[in-house]
Each structure stands twice: as C-alpha cells, then as structure tokens.
Amino acid sequence: MRLTVLAVGYARGTSEGALIDDYIHRAVQMGRNMGFAAVAVEEVPLSKARDAKTRMSEEADKLAARIPAGAHIVLLDARGKGMTSEDFADMLGALRDAGTKDLCFVIGGPDGLAPLPGKRAGRSLAFGPQTWPHLLVRAMLAEQVYRALTILAGHPYHRA
C-alpha cells in the first residue's frame, strides 16, 4: 500500500519540516517489509485568492487532482473522530490487509478544506478538539504513521 500525506503549503526549511522528514524517513524504513511500498508527503501551494471560500476551493481542486483513483481518503479535520494510536495502527493494518492500493491523508490550508471535487472521504480524523497549526498537524500525523507501523511490527517504540 502506498501511503501519502497531501497538504496545502510548504514545510521545506522549517523546523516542523525537519521533524516531518525524520518521521517519514523512519516510516519508510519500517514499512518497507510490512506491505507499505511508499510513505510520502506531497504539498500543493497555498491559493492566493482574496477570499477564503475561493482559496479553499482552489486548494481542494489541487489536492483532489493529486489523489489516485480508488484511494482511501482520510481528512484531517478538528470536527473528525479521534483515535488511539492502537486504533490508528489497526486501521492502517486493516486497509493494507484488505488490499487497499493507496491511502491518502488530506490536510487543508489555514482556511480549512472545501469538499474535494469528485472524491469521497472514507473518514475524518481529529487530533483532539483544538485547532492546531497545519505544519504541526503534519508532524503529528507523520509521527503517528511511524508509531502505527512500529505497533504493527511489534517494535518497542510504542510503550503503552
């Protein structure tokens, strides 16, 4: 299964970007022999439109264009449902075992995320009811992906 984090905005050159890169690298190494052919982050630019609704719509168009046909889509949204790390690992393992080719986590821009044209999300995931900076959400998601893979592998990283 290919796992992709699709996000609006660029993390390159930020401290969060370094953290994201570290956890994605770890996830690639861990997932290689566990049926996770790729773990990657893809970024699209922030819209420069004047009003928030147009910005969100333009960003949703760019994100939707990057989602492979048939991918299982998980939206990161404060209104989504929270999961324990174990439940998150179970979800990744179940999707992999069911033969899912592509899993895409989608993170909108600062204004939020408009509906993705022609795409339907399988679920929405929240990291609690708080609003988090979008780069920090990426870092948290990258860490949780790595943690989930260690849980599936029986690695001692997750000590719960």
Render pLDDT for 117-138 as a digit per residue (tens, 0 to 9). Answer: 999 999 999 998 888 898 999 9
Tell me how many degrees the CA angle 37-16-31 measures, rounded to the nearest 5. Answer: 15
pTM: 0.94
- pLDDT for 160: 67
Residue type, 48: K
Q: What is the mean pLDDT of residues 10-24?
A: 96
Domains and their CATH numbers in the chain: 2-153 (3.40.1280.10)
Give the C-alpha distances (Å, rounded to integers) separating 46 from 2, 11, 72, 81, 87: 25, 12, 24, 26, 32
Question: Strand (E) positions, the chain?
Answer: 2-8, 38-44, 72-81, 102-107, 123-125
Give me Rg for the CA atoms of the chain: 15
